[in-house]
Structure 1
Amino acid sequence: MTRVFVSKDMASVALGADGLARAFADAGCEVVRTGSRGLFSIEPLVEVETDGARIAYGPVGPGDVAAVLDGSHPARIGAIEAHPFFASQQRFTFARCGVTDPLNLADYAANGGWKGLEAAFSLSPQEVVDAVKASGLRGRGGAGFPTGIKWQTVLDTDADEKFIVCNADEGDSGTFADRMLMEGDPYCLIEGMAIAGHAVGATHGYIYIRSEYPFAIEAMREAIARSAGKVAPFTLEVRVGAGAYVCGEETALLDSIEGRRGQVRAKPPLPAIEGLWGKPTVINNVLSLAAVPFILAEGAQAYADVGFGRSRGTMPIQIAGNVKNGGLYEVGFGVTLGELVDEIGGGTASGRPVRAVQVGGPLGAYFPPSMFHLPFDYEAFAQAGGLIGHAGITVFDDSVDMAHMARFAMEFCAVESCGKCTPCRIGSTRGVELIDRIVAKAPRESGALEAMPQIRNTKGAARTHDEEIDLLRDLCDTMKYGSLCALGGFTPYPVLSALDHFREDFGGASALPEAAE
């Protein structure tokens, strides 16, 4: 019987993978459902086992079964590992995604699963923490805080109970790595959380998943049930969020798990000292925890040897938006932004020139092609006025209106704010109004000003266009340094970067001098 592999990842299913799998089953094939390989332009993808190797075809549909099975289909890719999109990747975290049956325990073990946990159990908690420190692993959820330092704090804090919490509330636009990992290799996350539990003395963990991920929720619950004996005495459960963006912030997430409205807590105390139900808590992103099994199995140095500067290891980068090759690309830090957009992403799907790239989700900065030399690195992006965040890249062609995108950032913040702090709650609403006035006062919008309220400056005269822009910058400064969490604190990044690099869309000078250099 011919054996074929078809993804059951949510994105693949949306593109027709279920119908394709049924068609192969009807043709008498043994169908194995896997996670996605991560390049959506070739989905639905099927791999046919031939002479011990897997030959890929994609995209294909149910009507292509006969041509695929006799090898004549024109969408023949060959060995998927040789495809240009995959050949240059360094898959530490996503090595099994698209290869194995996600819920098959034997499949997981046969492909290197549980080796990290077995290695951890042979070490003391402090030795495990030291290994994570030596690897250089930093939080993959956005802040880039050293994971080992967080674990050390929880280990050193005396308490009768401690917790491991996985933040799987993947709310950033253009990001899907957490979902792909949970759907395509759920035991990897479970293994990472069990290692963390051993390292800090926690016996219970929670995986907080957004409700928009039904496939991931189902996969994780099933994987937890099947692997319970393997990770004992560590236990796990899934908690489902209601979709609030602010619950991606760690303390709001804790409130939600506790059954309360998700609101940001003031810090200190840090969650590592007083977290879930007042107990010491490790809170890490999916990608942070899923990187840990490799570190323990292969050694901290093998992980630290890859990367750039202080950014060590690999980063699963998600390429989305107006781009030809949308998908997940895992590689060591240091690849340039231009390589990611033009070479790996293939440029825009529309064929028009790239005008802007947003890195880090809806609160990330916009970068023009003149900055495509930037290496993908925490420090390099911070110095350039941006952030890596969850490593989502969204591409825009030259039809985008950047004043509109800046307004969207403020509007997004206003809608998603938990309302606890004034700079975020009020500042975002005033920001929307201010950008509307700036656009209305721009020379290209002559005649629109009459419909806008006339706000006066300290001298009693109606504020000029430039004065409104100065006020917007001042507002961004207040939000950046006065907000309780990153929702209000990061909203200025897209607004200020749009002003700095695309000033012409707001009216006035085409660009600031420092942006043109």
Structure 2
Amino acid sequence: KTISVFETRLQLPRSPSSLLSLHKLLYKTKFGPLSDQDRIFTNLYGRHDWSLKGALRRGDWYKTKEILLKGTDWILNEVKVSGLRGRGGAGFPTGMKWGFMNKPSDGRPKYLVVNADEGEPGTCKDREIMRHDPHKLVEGCLVAGRAMGAHAAYIYIRGEFYNESSNTQVAINEAYAAGLIGKNACGSGYDFDVFVMRGAGAYICGEETALIESLEGKQGKPRLKPPFPADIGVFGCPTTVANVETVAVAPAICRRGGAWFASFGRERNAGTKLFNISGHVNTPCTVEEEMSIPLRELIDRHAGGVRGGWDNLLGVIPGGSSTPIIPRSVCDDVMMDFDDLVRAESALGTAAVIVMDKSTDVIRAIARLVEFYKHESCGQCTPCREGVDWMDKMMWRFVRGDAANSEIDMIWELSKQIEGHTICALGDGAAWPVQVRLLGDGAAWPVQVRLLGDRAAWPVQVRLLGDGVVWPVQVRLLGDGAA
């Protein structure tokens, strides 16, 4: 009757179909490709009408009233059974997070805040939902709000997303006009309002407490935790901050059952997921696939393979710029889910797959990422404000070939002084690209090798990514100019 998933005891449905779905989850060995009838986002590419009329034809808002009438506990249990984990990067169990709001009321209103401030380099999944399937998000706000007892949702949209915010606002207006939200939403007797808030382009406002500060009209700087937003959030009230994709899949989970959603992927890594594939691939795309699909199959099936063939692959950033690069030797077998990428010393993050072939200057790429984090730092924490600036200067010296050998160990130590010593995770995101190990034997840091060979390389002979390619003997050694 119960099964332990994500350290939570869950009440499982008793229907044979639900038990069959769970049996498949526990004993599956092959993951993907996802069949069309199992896709949640059916207008991802904007080929159909995104307005209310088109959304109703695709099954949105179907039996939403029944879902609301089943109440908070039923919705929370379905989400817990589904195994849904946050799709914004952290991967925290969604049912548990939403359950933190399900406490006796102390008189303060509760709020749902949707984090649509998508600014992670390489990530472009949430904007596709807001642009082409906004009613899924609006309906998801209603269902998620009901689960946590909130009566209002704020959708905080990145400032650059003009079309996305426009479409979302139109969808909200249509839902109000149809009686789907507002007073007596869907005829359920539950009142629920949805508001759009435009950001101003700051990457740091993607951090939940900085987002709350911005929503309140203050500078977007992260807060110290505790207190957590579930206790003191926006306007001093209990708040849950959730990602766009996380919220948008909630109605489908409630309609089709948590066990149906849990039948995809592995235990602790269940469901479907939106993946962005960019970089050196033949057909960059955004695609919905089953969790735990092998990385190589994902790239070959949906992105037309690596430019120049799989043997031309150098490495992959698997989850947006905040996640460490994984080398070709790992890419052959790794699965795209939370646990397997942690095993590979990286992370799923936002599932933004950035592919790099052997023409990539990895040192320049890392320097560019560090420069981004330096520019987007809010400056509140000294390790991030000062340390990332120093890392940026040192990385560009490595790019130019002007650095001393001693700076290799120095920048590693500097990154360790930043990691884990800041209020939010921006400092960690800046430090991780610098710490990545690309060589197949794990013995050297990438700055020790100029992968393009235009100025300097050290040591003289090195095996790149374990593929047997030996660096040419004619190199310019760092610092002494000898060939």
Preserved CA contact (<8 Å) 1:115 1:293: no
1:126 CA drift (Å): 1.6
Q: Structure 2 residue aligned with 1:93, among 40, 51, 54?
A: 40
1:231 CA drift (Å): 2.1
Q: TM-score, normalised by structure 1?
A: 0.74
Please name the residue that 1:22 is paired with. Answer: none
The one-letter amino acid of 2:149's match is G
Question: Do the aligned partners of residues 171 and 272 (structure 1) sit closer, same or farther apart at CA in structure 2, a change above 3 Å counting?
Answer: same
The one-letter amino acid of 1:407's match is A
Q: Structure 1 residue aligned with 2:218, among 260, 269, 273?
A: 260
Asked if 1:311 corresponds to 2:269, the answer is: yes
SS in structure 1 opposite 2:274? strand
Question: What is the total number of aligned residue pairs between the two structures?
Answer: 411
1:439 CA drift (Å): 5.1
Please name the residue that 1:217 is paired with. Answer: 165
Preserved CA contact (<8 Å) 2:314 2:465: no
Asked if 1:468 corresponds to 2:407, the answer is: yes
Q: Structure 2 residue aligned with 1:494, among 417, 433, 442?
A: 433
Structure 2: distance between partners of 1:497 and 1:513:
16
Please name the residue that 1:126 is paired with. Answer: 73
Please name the residue that 2:458 is paired with. Answer: 508
Asked if 1:226 corresponds to 2:185, the answer is: no
Asked if 1:483 corresponds to 2:422, the answer is: yes
Q: TM-score, normalised by structure 2?
A: 0.79
Please name the residue that 1:391 is paired with. Answer: 351
Asked if 1:141 corresponds to 2:100, the answer is: no
Preserved CA contact (<8 Å) 1:138 1:147: yes
Question: Do the aligned partners of residues 349 and 123 (structure 1) sit closer, same or farther apart at CA in structure 2, a change above 3 Å counting?
Answer: same
Please name the residue that 2:323 is paired with. Answer: 364
1:365 CA drift (Å): 1.6
1:303 CA drift (Å): 0.4
- RMSD between superposed Cα atoms in Å: 2.5
1:508 CA drift (Å): 2.7
Question: Do the aligned partners of residues 143 and 512 (structure 1) sit closer, same or farther apart at CA in structure 2, a change above 3 Å counting?
Answer: farther
Q: Structure 1 residue aligned with 2:123, among 162, 175, 181?
A: 175
Structure 2: distance between partners of 1:361 and 1:111:
30
> Any unmatched runs of 5+ in structure 2?
1-31, 183-190, 441-445, 452-456, 468-483
Preserved CA contact (<8 Å) 1:131 1:300: yes
Please name the residue that 2:236 is paired with. Answer: 278
Please name the residue that 2:113 is paired with. Answer: 165
The one-letter amino acid of 2:392's match is V
SS in structure 1 opposite 2:372? helix
> Any unmatched runs of 5+ in structure 1?
1-84, 450-463
Structure 2: distance between partners of 1:319 and 1:499:
20
Structure 2: distance between partners of 1:314 and 1:172:
21
Question: Do the aligned partners of residues 187 and 496 (structure 1) sit closer, same or farther apart at CA in structure 2, a change above 3 Å counting?
Answer: same
Structure 2: distance between partners of 1:395 and 1:106:
38
Please name the residue that 1:70 is paired with. Answer: none
Preserved CA contact (<8 Å) 1:407 1:435: yes
Structure 2: distance between partners of 1:267 and 1:380:
29
Q: Structure 2 residue aligned with 1:205, among 146, 149, 153?
A: 153
How is 1:308-347 mapped onto 2 (pairs within 5 angstroms)?
A: 308-347=266-305
The one-letter amino acid of 2:449's match is E
Question: Do the aligned partners of residues 396 and 513 (structure 1) sit closer, same or farther apart at CA in structure 2, a change above 3 Å counting?
Answer: closer
Structure 1: distance between partners of 2:63 and 2:412:
48
1:323 CA drift (Å): 1.5
Please name the residue that 2:54 is paired with. Answer: 107
1:335 CA drift (Å): 1.0
Please name the residue that 1:196 is paired with. Answer: 144
SS in structure 2 opposite 1:328? strand
How is 1:292-303 mapped onto 2 (pairs within 5 angstroms)?
A: 292-303=250-261
The one-letter amino acid of 2:84's match is L
Preserved CA contact (<8 Å) 1:89 1:329: no
Question: Do the aligned partners of residues 326 and 514 (structure 1) sit closer, same or farther apart at CA in structure 2, a change above 3 Å counting?
Answer: closer
Preserved CA contact (<8 Å) 1:165 1:208: yes
Preserved CA contact (<8 Å) 1:117 1:296: no
The one-letter amino acid of 1:181's match is I
Please name the residue that 1:58 is paired with. Answer: none
**Please, which moves more after superposition, 400-409 or 117-126?**
117-126
Question: Do the aligned partners of residues 516 and 322 (structure 1) sit closer, same or farther apart at CA in structure 2, a change above 3 Å counting?
Answer: closer
Please name the residue that 1:69 is paired with. Answer: none
Ranked by relative contact order (alpha carbons within 8 Å, sequence separation 6 or more), the top structure is 2
Please name the residue that 2:24 is paired with. Answer: none
1:195 CA drift (Å): 0.6
Preserved CA contact (<8 Å) 1:318 1:393: yes
1:379 CA drift (Å): 1.3
1:422 CA drift (Å): 1.4
How is 1:11-22 mapped onto 2 (pairs within 5 angstroms)?
A: none
1:183 CA drift (Å): 1.2
Structure 2: distance between partners of 1:480 and 1:116:
47
1:492 CA drift (Å): 2.1
The one-letter amino acid of 1:208's match is Y
Please name the residue that 2:99 is paired with. Answer: 152
Question: Alpha-carbon deviations, 1:100-151, whole Å to 9, x = none?
Answer: 4111x23322322113633421312122111111111110000001111111
Structure 2: distance between partners of 1:511 and 1:281:
55
Structure 1: distance between partners of 2:307 and 2:344:
27
Question: Alpha-carbon deviations, 1:178-209, whole Å to 9, x = none?
Answer: 11111111111011110111111111111111
Question: Alpha-carbon deviations, 1:311-349, whole Å to 9, x = none?
Answer: 110011011122212111111111111122234322345
SS in structure 2 opposite 1:247? helix
Asked if 1:424 corresponds to 2:384, the answer is: yes
1:515 CA drift (Å): 7.2
Question: Do the aligned partners of residues 109 and 421 (structure 1) sit closer, same or farther apart at CA in structure 2, a change above 3 Å counting?
Answer: same
The percent identity for this pair of structures is 35
The one-letter amino acid of 1:365's match is P
SS in structure 2 opposite 1:231? coil
Question: Alpha-carbon deviations, 1:13-52, whole Å to 9, x = none?
Answer: xxxxxxxxxxxxxxxxxxxxxxxxxxxxxxxxxxxxxxxx
